[in-house]
């Protein structure tokens, strides 16, 4: 993982650089989470749609998606290269100048969100080597941060999101920040685009997704253990959530998304920076 500049750390996770060979054309599953996703492909444009909704299909040199409670279908050929970023909800305001709530359920290009970043794909294409591309990306993000300088979310909203991420109930969260459940519902939805219950669900699922990925890479997969560690009642509960939010079972996800690891027991489908 690349070291994120201190000024960017509250807004963006370390970038994922992917350089993947596939056995054939297919569809990668874009997993729901509490982050916004920004993909910058190299070599060829990226085609994305929401699972089961072909009318949402978009193709471009950038892909931005807001929070969503459904998987994305990312089409691929024999080879894929690019950079994927995950932005926190506050990162949408800081780097793009828009609230995360306005992008919920959306699949758009970066030029639709912030025209000031529209030339980023061409800037990245001018460089050879991942280090140079990541350095250019960091420069562009720092400039974007300087352009927008947005106000921080209301402290009570930020606290509520943190509590929901940790698994606190909606009632307990509302009591803690001093709002009614209805008022909390409105504030959270305005900020991130989904109500508190959905945000909490996405946070729990994102934790399970990361635990499962790490377990597979470490060679000691146990869906039951992942379920317990992630706050699900049992393995069956996790399986139901996985089917709804990823469109497949956990084992099917592993088979489709981490085939190199399954086949050899080593390596990964992407290079993590």
Say if residues 116 and 40 touch (Cβ distance below 8 Å).
no
Do 141 and 85 fall within a single domain?
A: yes
Do 238 and 188 fall within a single domain?
A: no
Do 203 and 250 fall within a single domain?
A: yes
**Residue 272, strand partner residues:** 16
Say if residues 212 and 254 touch (Cβ distance below 8 Å).
yes
Do 123 and 171 fall within a single domain?
A: no
CATH classification at residue 88: 2.60.120
Q: Distance between CA 81 and CA 50 in Å, rounded?
A: 21
Structural domain includes residue 6: no
Do 209 and 177 fall within a single domain?
A: no
Q: Is 29 helix (H, G, I), strand (E, B) or coil?
A: strand
Do 138 and 67 fall within a single domain?
A: yes
Q: Is 1 helix (H, G, I), strand (E, B) or coil?
A: coil
Q: Each residue's pLDDT tens digit in the chain (273 positions)? A: 566 789 999 999 888 898 888 888 889 999 999 999 999 999 999 999 999 899 999 999 999 999 999 999 999 988 999 999 999 999 999 999 999 999 999 999 999 999 999 999 999 999 999 999 999 999 999 999 999 976 677 899 999 999 999 999 999 999 999 999 999 999 999 999 999 999 999 999 999 999 999 998 888 878 999 999 999 999 999 999 999 999 999 989 988 887 654 333 333 333 322
State the residue for tokens 């920040």: 177
Do 65 and 128 fall within a single domain?
A: yes
Q: Which residues of 76-115 are buried (b: 16+ CB within 10 A; e: fewer)?
A: beeebebbbbbbbbbbbbbbbbbbbbebbebbebbbbbbe
Structural domain that includes position 229: 198-272
Do 240 and 116 fall within a single domain?
A: no
Q: How far from each other are the two terminal CA atoms of the chain, in whole angstroms?
A: 3
Counted domains in the chain? 3
Structural domain includes residue 33: yes
pLDDT of residue 49: 96
> In sequence order, what DSSP letters do the residues of 192-223 get, joined into one string?
HSS-HHHHHHHHHHHHHHHHHHHHHHHT---H
Do 251 and 238 fall within a single domain?
A: yes
Say if residues 11 and 87 touch (Cβ distance below 8 Å).
yes
CATH classification at residue 259: 1.10.10.60
Do 33 and 98 fall within a single domain?
A: yes
Do 229 and 259 fall within a single domain?
A: yes
Do 142 and 167 fall within a single domain?
A: no
């Amino acid at each position: 993982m690349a070291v994120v500049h201190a000024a960017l750390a509250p807004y963006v996770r370390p970038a994922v650089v992917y350089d993947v060979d596939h056995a054939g054309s297919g569809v990668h599953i874009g997993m729901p989470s509490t982050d916004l996703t920004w993909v910058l492909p190299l070599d060829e444009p990226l085609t994305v749609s929401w699972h089961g909704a072909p009318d949402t299909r978009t193709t471009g040199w950038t892909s931005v998606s807001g929070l969503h409670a459904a998987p994305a279908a990312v089409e691929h050929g024999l080879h894929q290269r690019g950079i994927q970023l995950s932005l926190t909800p506050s990162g949408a305001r800081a780097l793009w100048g828009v609230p995360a709530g306005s992008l919920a359920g959306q699949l758009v290009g970066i030029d639709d969100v912030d025209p000031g970043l529209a030339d980023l794909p061409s800037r990245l294409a001018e460089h050879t080597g991942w280090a140079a591309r990541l350095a250019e990306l960091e420069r562009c993000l720092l400039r974007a941060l300087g352009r927008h300088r947005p106000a921080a979310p209301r402290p009570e909203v930020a606290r509520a999101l943190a509590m929901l991420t940790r698994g606190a109930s909606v009632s307990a969260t509302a009591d803690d920040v001093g709002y009614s459940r209805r008022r909390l519902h409105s504030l959270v939805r305005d900020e991130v685009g989904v109500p508190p219950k959905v945000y909490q669900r996405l946070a729990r699922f994102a934790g399970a997704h990361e635990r499962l990925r790490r377990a597979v890479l470490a060679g000691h997969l146990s869906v039951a253990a992942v379920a317990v560690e992630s706050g699900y009642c049992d393995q069956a509960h996790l399986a139901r959530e996985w089917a709804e939010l990823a469109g497949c079972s956990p084992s099917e996800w592993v088979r489709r998304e981490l085939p190199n690891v399954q086949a050899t027991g080593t390596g990964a489908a992407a290079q993590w920076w």
